[in-house]
Amino acid sequence: MSTSMKSVKETSLWFAGPRTNPNTRLRLFCFPYAGGGTLMYRNWARNLPATVEICRAQLPGREVRLKESGFTRLGPLVLSLADAIEPYLDLPYAFFGHSMGTLIGFELARELERRHGLLPANLFMSAHVAPQISHRSTPMHDLPEPEFIEQIRRLNGTPKEVFEQPELLRLMIPLMRADFELCHTYTYSPAPPLDCPITVFGGLEDHETPQSDLEEWCVQTTGPFKLYTLPGGHFFLHSSQPFMLQVISQALQASLKKGIRYEEVNQRIRPRLDLCAS
């Protein structure tokens, strides 16, 4: 048994969204972009099937975990998430990530396959080039503060109210620096492709993620691959949310209709999950 096994109560800090729906058949874990938190996904459940439960990742350094330091490397964060998510693996699951969240979801899926042979029903990857493509942008995390703030403003993903409140902005800067350092220091390690569907979303005006780089996600799966390019820049997920949720809903319903077989996996890890819940 893993020495890192923890109870649902102990790991609930990592995921917002209480497990209260007895009809849940699949959990959708959502991971934030750099500087983002759980609020961006707070209304998603209204537009998804009632059998899908939204679990919003609460990462250190933001919201209820504001006093904690943010991770600056993806590897340790993924290992911590893999420990924390184990009590939730009694049902099929899917991942959605936007920008930084895409890297988190992708590497967490690979880690769970290594640990349990357990794959997500769907991977929804948004606003990030395929992981095997090398960095092309200049690192932001170590810029002097005025330049760093201007770059954040230029990305147009932080509410303008943050820039109008100096104290709030000062609280946010360490987190955003940590998140951007995490993204820039990420190094892809080659591995066999995942045998699960991958759906990729990109913005037509997002110059950081051209369509050709989004198309390269196809090599990361032996399953179905779909790419949707939507109007907008890097944060198209806000303006195009209704369409994205329609696509996600249809994909999750199709996965559930296939009758995802978790019985064999559950027989193998059920004792571990029971310990988590105790």
Helix, strand, coil percent values for the chain (each to nearest 5) = 45, 15, 40
Percent of the chain with pLDDT over 90: 63
Domain boundaries, the chain: 8-131+192-277
pTM: 0.87
- pLDDT at residue 58, as a whole number: 96
Give the helix/strand (H/E) hosting 202: strand 198-203
pLDDT of residue 181: 95
Active site residue 99: yes
Q: What is the DSSP track for 168-196? A: HHHHHHHHHHHHHHHHHT------PPBSS
pLDDT digits (tens, 9 = 90+) for 55-96: 999 999 998 998 899 999 999 999 999 999 999 999 999 999
**Structure confidence by residue, pLDDT tens digits, 129-185:** 999 998 766 777 878 877 887 888 877 667 777 777 777 778 888 899 999 999 999
CATH of domain 8-131+192-277: 3.40.50.1820
Higher pLDDT, 271 or 29: 29
**Active site residue: 4, 12, 99, 249, which one?**
99
